[in-house]
Amino acid sequence: MSARGRLLGVDTGSVRVGLAVSDPERKIASPLETYRRRDQAQEARYFQRLVQHEDIAALVVGLPVHTDGREGVKAAEARQYAAWLTEVTGLPVVFWDERFTTVEAESHLWSAGLTHKQRKERRDRVAAQILLQSYLDVGCPASSRPASLDEQ
């Protein structure tokens, strides 16, 4: 992956996609927005505009794996969505372990005293921020194999 340019963190879901963006130096991740999924044509236009507007160089897509590191149905769906994102944006994708990011996001939002509605509105983009920040914190490796939690 190129060492320059902003990264887009993507926390995929069947209804919503949480998005976060890094600074150009790839030090800090910030929540961007929560995109409500639509038809593929609208979604493709949305992501094409977004990567151009935000000057995105690559995508970091959350890979939901089991605690033992195995991939299941949700991981396969994330890989399929990432392949589609690569096709519509022309950008490279790196997968990153997203275990517990939603739980951590919910905990932070709960601690901030937000209502259920406010937490739901922000949860996915904060999970994407946590995912992207963890990727930035380890130096943006080109690839990673999620390990069992016992191995970490």
pLDDT by residue for the chain (152 residues), tens only, comes to: 555 789 999 999 889 999 999 999 999 999 999 999 999 999 999 999 999 999 999 999 999 887 787 888 988 999 999 999 999 999 999 999 886 667 666 666 567 776 767 666 777 888 899 999 989 988 887 765 554 444 54
pLDDT for 140 = 81
Q: Cα–Cα distance between 117 and 96 in angstroms, integer?
A: 28
pLDDT for 92 = 95
Q: Cα–Cα distance between 120 and 135 in angstroms, integer?
A: 24
The pTM (predicted TM-score) of the whole model is 0.82
Residue-wise over 94-114: b if at least 16 C-beta within 10 A, else e?
Answer: bbbbbbebbeebbebbeeeeb
Contact 46, 62 (CB under 8 A): no
pLDDT for 17 = 94
Burial tier of 9 (Cβ tally within 10 Å: 0-12, 13-18, 19+)? buried
Q: Give φ, ψ of 121 to 5 degrees.
A: -65, -30
Contact 79, 62 (CB under 8 A): no
What are the E-state strand segments in 37-89? Answer: 56-63
